[in-house]
Structure 1
Amino acid sequence: MHQAVIWVYLWVNDNSVVELIGKIFIAVVSIIAALGFLLYGGRLFFMLRRFPIESKGRRKKLHEVGSVTAICFTCFLIRCFVVLLSAFDADASLDVLDHPVLNLIYYTLVEILPSALVLYILRKLPPKRVSAQYHPIR
């Protein structure tokens, strides 16, 4: 909601201070998301490590949780640094409309590739549980 208010204000009245505040807001949200993934993904990872070694699927889940946590943390951290850099350095603007290749590279690295990797890692759904009361007709 806050970001929408900033965008509307910028649309009505183009102000460089408000634009800076908007970029800092996005950077703060990105760093909070990165730290959230690190905190909760790390907690889940270490919780899974405490399970018995014989536990079924433990190794696969450790790999999944560790990979998703690392990918998401890294992407949000990169986004935070890039947005902060663009906020304080006029030459490092993210609005590169005249350079579509740079736009493609940036969004591929920080959005499309991580999303594709997470979807690939989590591609297999758990098997459906069959109710004890329901038995299919053969």
Structure 2
Amino acid sequence: VPEYGWTTQKVFQFLNFLVNGARCSIFAFRRQVQLVNPQIFQHVILDLPGLAFFTTYAMLALFWAEISYQARGLDTDGLRSGFYIINGVVYAMQQVLVWVLLWLNPNPSMLVLSKLFIAGLSFSAALGFLLYGGRLFLMLKRFPIESKGRQQKLSEVGRVATICSCC
């Protein structure tokens, strides 16, 4: 059973800490955030934690995908570059399309589009967890019972995938 790399685990925990810290700060200072002008900066402040959430959880799904691909003897070269490309496209779409359009035309339909975009990102991160977490869980389940660390990793992957997908 492949061990979780210290680098990936620590980066995930650090990014998770930053995302949740940003969300807590925004919640604590929500009245001050509502007073920020021009109004587009309010949307940027409110949307950045959602974008960082997507990147953080997509990175963990990428890590699980790499483990799953390596265990099956498949090439993992395209996974990491795909991760960077997808993140670049997501940030470009949010920053260029949504924020610029919101700045130029701040109407209620653009606000709904912005919120739907962030909701869609969270949903796609949850799908990544279900897909790659489920694959890794099933792969670990097929390992022999006497494999060292199998039960611990099986429950760890199962818990994390379930909790993160539900959240």
| TM-score normalised by length of structure 2 | 0.42
| TM-score normalised by length of structure 1 | 0.49
Q: Which structure has the larger Rg over C-alpha atoms?
A: 1
> Per residue, is there more helix in 1 or in 2?
2
